[in-house]
Structure 1
């Protein structure tokens, strides 16, 4: 397994490199976003870890540009920026996971393994179409439609909706969603989760009499067709 680590702080990058190599990973270092972009085009990596604040190209733009040519490359953002807005920006740019510095190497390794495991399983699901009520999701083309209306989703919104559609009419707790969608065993926070649920509601339920995405107070969220009066 070859991992690209994009970090302009030499001390941090060498710490990550040492920790990963001790676990048998091969590590390639890049110290700015432009170098990382070029490396991602020249070589196939199994996973990328990137900071956000980088010289030449920041981590957000780097993530967006890498996604154009490597849509399936697992990406972890590892940064000191830890507000809800920062996390939303990171996930919307295409990151699969987001960790805030200072970090524990053991937790980083857990998240890396979870992403690599999920990515390996994901290879068997391409071309599958999920349907619930008049909502349709194509996992191969990444096209989501409700009736005849196409819905434009960010990568993380897509994954969240995918999990809801894989578990229709079942209440999903915030902890479960954090584990299955964000690949972490830690609750990512009520406000953070609500932000994404509200994004989905505005795109999936707006202008439709039948609402699909609902909040169960104190329990979590559910995908269920309920017509408004």
Structure 2
């Protein structure tokens, strides 16, 4: 999805600028985001409603999407569903209201890769997008290999995950988090380490994102089985084979 040029700037595999679709019904905010992303050298298109976003995505084929949860026609979750129907792996960064915890949890559970809360800094949005696209690039270029911890098996090339032979469906961010845990079995990983490796930004008030995603993984990996993901209070998380 993205490669880095000699100066470390992210580019499309063909060398062209990365494409970002901005979806927000506040024209001023959409314009500010567009200017900030273009300053990064990226190609940007914007849409002010959900249906317009779906049409724009099909024409523009973005490498990432900045998507407001609240839109005047269909909401961000429905836009996400339709986008993923066409491009299953496109990274999506949700914009949510500061006091809307339910929106953030719902958006991430539905398959969003990350979120920022309004009001936010433009620098934060750019940093999150860089992280999402670098993560997607790593996933695209990883050679064939299997990770195995106990009865949990991950195929890094096909992105298939199975436990005890049962297939487990993960979002892109859940997959990257589990991959980090499986590459470090029995090793305690702090929230700061996980944020740096999986989300690519510094630790600072974002620990709740790690907690949310660990809880999502537990529901998928450990549900009805011997638990593999363990919390060490005050230290972090560790993946160990189930009993």
Q: TM-score, normalised by structure 2?
A: 0.82
Q: In structure 2, which of residues 116, 119, 127 is the aligned counterpart of residue 99 of structure 1?
A: 116
Instruction: Tell me what 1:147 maps to.
Output: 164
Instruction: Tell me what 1:87 maps to.
Output: 104
Instruction: Tell me what 2:154 maps to.
Output: 137
In structure 1, stretches of 5+ residues that fail to align are none
For residues 241 and 76 of structure 2, the distance between their equivalents in structure 1, rounded to whole angstroms, comes to 39
Instruction: Tell me what 1:213 maps to.
Output: 229
Instruction: Tell me what 1:24 maps to.
Output: 41
1:201 shift after superposition: 2.8
Structure 1 residues 182 and 73: alpha-carbon distance in aligned structure 2, compared to 1, 3 A threshold: same
Instruction: Tell me what 2:64 maps to.
Output: 47
SS at match of 2:95: strand
Structure 1 residues 167 and 105: alpha-carbon distance in aligned structure 2, compared to 1, 3 A threshold: same
Structure 1 residues 197 and 45: alpha-carbon distance in aligned structure 2, compared to 1, 3 A threshold: closer
Instruction: Tell me what 1:64 maps to.
Output: 81
Q: In structure 1, which of residues 149, 157, 168 is the aligned counterpart of residue 185 of structure 2?
A: 168
Runs of 4+ in 1 over 6 A off after TM superposition: none
Whether contact under 8 Å (1:77, 1:99) holds in the other structure is: yes
Q: CA RMSD in A?
A: 2.3
Whether contact under 8 Å (1:76, 1:96) holds in the other structure is: yes
SS at match of 2:241: strand
SS at match of 2:131: helix
SS at match of 2:220: helix
1:66 shift after superposition: 0.9
1:15 shift after superposition: 1.2
In structure 2, stretches of 5+ residues that fail to align are 1-17
1:199 aligns with 2:216: yes
Instruction: Tell me what 1:4 maps to.
Output: 21
SS at match of 1:144: strand
SS at match of 1:39: helix
Structure 1 residues 162 and 109: alpha-carbon distance in aligned structure 2, compared to 1, 3 A threshold: same
For residues 118 and 180 of structure 2, the distance between their equivalents in structure 1, rounded to whole angstroms, comes to 28
For residues 198 and 181 of structure 2, the distance between their equivalents in structure 1, rounded to whole angstroms, comes to 10
Q: TM-score, normalised by structure 1?
A: 0.86
1:33 shift after superposition: 0.8
Number of equivalent positions? 226
